[in-house]
Amino acid sequence: MIGTVLKIENSLLAAVPRKAYRSLLAGLEPVTLTFGDVLYEPGQTIRHIYFPGDSLVSLLTLADGHLALEVGLIGREGMVGIPLVLGHRESSVRALVQGTGTALRMVSARFRDEFRSCLPLQRELYRYVHALMAQISQTAACNRFHVVETRLARWLLMTHDRVKSDQFRMTHEFLGHMLGVRRVGVTRAAQALNKRGLIRYSRGDITVLDRAGLEAAACECYEVVKDMHDGKRARQGTP
Ligand SMILES: [Zn+2]
């Protein structure tokens, strides 16, 4: 039942004033997103938007119809379904659940109405779109210029920030998609971080052992993107 969802896990929703949030809540449905679920495919009409709680959704762009590369990661700081904010009804990317967890979803037609009438929501979403664009463009540069080990460290930190747990599950195959490399490249990079005592990686289970060390091992892209989202958070207390 919607009324039982008292804790606002998603920081975009948490930043909307309480009165506006109550109005939004009537159209929000709690769902569990499961690892491997595809929420949108490129060219598909978006039927629902999602505000993740402790779930994680990866945006993947496809090349040659089958090669997938992660270009964005969305968790509790954001919303899945941004094309609707910009007036488009179709997704240009695949949205794939990479971390099982909670989310609130809303039917697209209702979201468009709420978005038009709720100025605080508009303000938060425009800030978020700006941060997401920065994340996507930084990721493009990162994929081109930075080595796999530093990119893996960055990706683990981004995941760690969103799931708020030291342990999460991720297969080699999935990490390969995230990083755009073959399994052997993932294995080498994970072993290197493992050997330095920063993580423990065993059969798809990742444990972050040394957060500060992982930050030192990541490329600067992590800080650049985090600053964008932190800027948004820092302003949440302002009217
Ligand atoms: Zn980078």
Collapse the DSSP code of 147 into the 3-class scheme (helix H, G, I; strand E, B; otherwise coil) and give the result: coil
> How remote is the CA of residue 69 from the centroid of ligand 1, in Å?
15
Where residue 46 falls (left for φ over 0; alpha for ψ -120 to 50; beta otherwise) is beta
Note the pLDDT tens digit of each residue in 133-182: 999 999 989 988 999 999 999 999 999 998 888 998 888 888 887 888 88
pLDDT of residue 184: 87
Whether 77 contacts 126, CB under 8 Å: no
DSSP state of 134: H
pLDDT of residue 76: 95
> How remote is the CA of residue 221 from the centroid of ligand 1, in Å?
4
pLDDT of residue 234: 47
Note the pLDDT tens digit of each residue in 72-104: 999 999 999 999 999 999 999 999 999 999 999
Q: From the centroid of its chain, how far is CA 229? A: 12
Note the pLDDT tens digit of each residue in 189-216: 999 999 999 999 888 889 999 999 999 9
pLDDT of residue 122: 96
pLDDT of residue 229: 76
pTM assigned to the model: 0.87
Nearest Cα to Cα of residue 103 among 128, 126, 79, 125: 79
pLDDT of residue 131: 93
Residue with tokens 């444990």: 207
> How remote is the CA of residue 149 from the centroid of ligand 1, in Å?
10
> How remote is the CA of residue 134 from the centroid of ligand 1, in Å?
13
Three-state secondary structure string covering 89-125: CECCCEEEEEECEEEEEEEHHHHHHHHHHCHHHHHHH
Tell whether the model's pLDDT for residue 67 goes beyond 80: no
pLDDT of residue 235: 47
Type and span of the H or E element at 127: helix 119-145
Per-residue DSSP letters for 161-224?
HHH-SSEEE--HHHHHHHHTS-HHHHHHHHHHHHHTTSEEEETTEEEE--HHHHHHHS-THHHH
> How remote is the CA of residue 84 from the centroid of ligand 1, in Å?
29
> How remote is the CA of residue 166 from the centroid of ligand 1, in Å?
22
Residue 71's CB is within 10 A of a number of other CB atoms, namely 19
Note the pLDDT tens digit of each residue in 42-52: 999 999 999 99
pLDDT of residue 231: 67
Angle at CA of residue 202, ends 198 and 206, nearest 5° = 50
Residue with tokens 């920081």: 11
In the predicted model, what is the mean pLDDT of residues 62-70?
80
> How remote is the CA of residue 51 from the centroid of ligand 1, in Å?
26
> How remote is the CA of residue 152 from the centroid of ligand 1, in Å?
9
Whether 81 contacts 105, CB under 8 Å: no
pLDDT of residue 51: 98
Note the pLDDT tens digit of each residue in 13-40: 999 999 999 989 999 999 999 999 999 9
